């Protein structure tokens, strides 16, 4: 996989606001936030997209969703948040799997972006 801005952030070659980090993930602020709280949960193991992860890798999938819940709690948005992921070259700006975690709205009208 080609090097991406995320792999450079993980290696500290590019500065970023790191909110959380452990051995598997790094969590950074989105530079173009679409919500009062908008962070990216990025696996340190580089996958081009979700489609590059083995369907049988239940441990990875569980860790990703568990990390989203943990980060939402740490950021104080666990009562109302959204998670989403872009998949594929036509919709994914950076070809390194990452999960968007968004929240912090004060009312329903503020969260109209990405509403069901």
Q: Which active-site residues does the annotation give? A: 98
Structural contact between residues 43 and 25, judged by C-beta atoms closer than 8 angstroms = yes
Helix, coil or strand: residue 101: strand
**3-state secondary structure string across 65-85:** HHHHHHHHHHCCCCCCEEEEC
Which DSSP string do the residues of 11-25 spell out, in sequence order? Answer: TTSS---EEEE-SSE
């Amino acid at each position: 996989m080609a090097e991406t801005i995320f792999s450079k952030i993980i290696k500290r070659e590019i500065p970023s606001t790191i909110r959380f980090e452990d051995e598997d993930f790094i969590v950074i602020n989105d530079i173009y936030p679409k919500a009062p709280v908008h962070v990216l949960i990025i696996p340190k193991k580089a996958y081009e997209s979700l489609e590059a992860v083995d369907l049988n890798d239940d441990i990875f999938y569980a860790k990703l969703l568990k990390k989203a819940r943990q980060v939402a709690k740490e950021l104080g948005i666990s009562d109302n948040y959204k998670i989403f992921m872009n998949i594929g070259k036509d919709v994914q700006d950076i070809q390194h799997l990452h999960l968007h975690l968004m929240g912090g709205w004060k009312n329903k009208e503020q969260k109209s972006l990405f509403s069901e």
